[in-house]
Amino acid sequence: MFELQKEQLAQLIPGNKDVDSWYEALVAVMPKYGINTERRAAHFISQCAHESNNFRSLQENLNYSQKSLNAVFGRYFGTGVHPAGHTRRDAAEYARNPEKIANYVYMDEFRKYKMGNVNEGDGWLFRGRGLKQLTGRENYTRFGKTVDMTAEEAADYVATPKGAVESACWFWDANNLNSIADTDDVVKMTKKINGGNIGLESRQKRYSKAMEVFGNPVTLADDAGDDDFDIDDIGVLRKGSRGEGVKMMQEALGIGADGVFGPGTERALKEWQSSKGLSVDGIAGPATLGELLG
Please classify residue 217 by burial: count the beta carbons closer than 10 Å to its beta carbon, then call 0-12 exposed, 13-18 middle and 19+ buried: exposed
User: Bridge-partner residues for 89, per DSSP?
Assistant: 77
pLDDT score of 31 more than 90:
yes
pLDDT at 37: 96
pLDDT score of 155 more than 80:
yes
Give the whole-angstrom CA distance, residue 78 versus residue 246.
Answer: 26
What are the φ/ψ torsions at residue 260 (nearest 5 degrees)? -115, 120
Q: Which segment of 102-106, 185-189, 266-270 scores lowest on mean pLDDT?
A: 266-270
SS3 134: strand
This prediction's pTM:
0.70
Give the whole-angstrom CA distance, residue 240 versus residue 26.
Answer: 24
pLDDT at 100: 96
Provide the pLDDT confidence category of residue 228 given band limits of 50, 70 and 90.
Answer: very low
Tell me where in the chain the CATH 1.10.101.10 domain(s) lie. Answer: 232-293
Mean pLDDT of the chain: 87
Q: Quick one: average pLDDT of 200-220?
A: 92
Provide the pLDDT confidence category of residue 270 given band limits of 50, 70 and 90.
Answer: confident
Please classify residue 275 by burial: count the beta carbons closer than 10 Å to its beta carbon, then call 0-12 exposed, 13-18 middle and 19+ buried: exposed
Please classify residue 230 by burial: count the beta carbons closer than 10 Å to its beta carbon, then call 0-12 exposed, 13-18 middle and 19+ buried: exposed
**Core vs surface per residue 72-103: b (16+ CB within 10 A) or e:** bbbbbbbeeebeeeeebbebeebbeebeebbb
pLDDT at 204: 93
Q: Which residues contact 201 (CB under 8 A, 6 or more apart)?
A: 225, 226, 227
Among 63, 84, 105, 75, which Cα is nearest to 268's? 75
Among 137, 56, 143, 133, which Cα is nearest to 103's? 137
What are the φ/ψ torsions at residue 118 (nearest 5 degrees)? -120, -15
Give the whole-angstrom CA distance, residue 223 versus residue 102.
Answer: 40
Count of C-beta atoms within a 10 Å radius of residue 283: 17
The architecture CATH gives domain 232-293: Orthogonal Bundle (1.10)
pLDDT at 226: 42
First to last CA, the chain: 48
pLDDT at 151: 97
- Cβ(45)–Cβ(9) under 8 Å? yes
What are the φ/ψ torsions at residue 89 (nearest 5 degrees)? -105, 165
Tell me where in the chain the CATH 1.10.530.10 domain(s) lie. Answer: 6-58+159-227
Give the whole-angstrom CA distance, residue 75 versus residue 263.
Answer: 11
Most confident by average pLDDT, 40-44, 88-92, 227-231, 237-241? 40-44
Please determine, looking at this structure, whether the domain spanning 6-58+159-227 carries the CATH number 3.40.50.670: no
User: Bridge-partner residues for 77, per DSSP?
Assistant: 89
- Cβ(113)–Cβ(143) under 8 Å? no
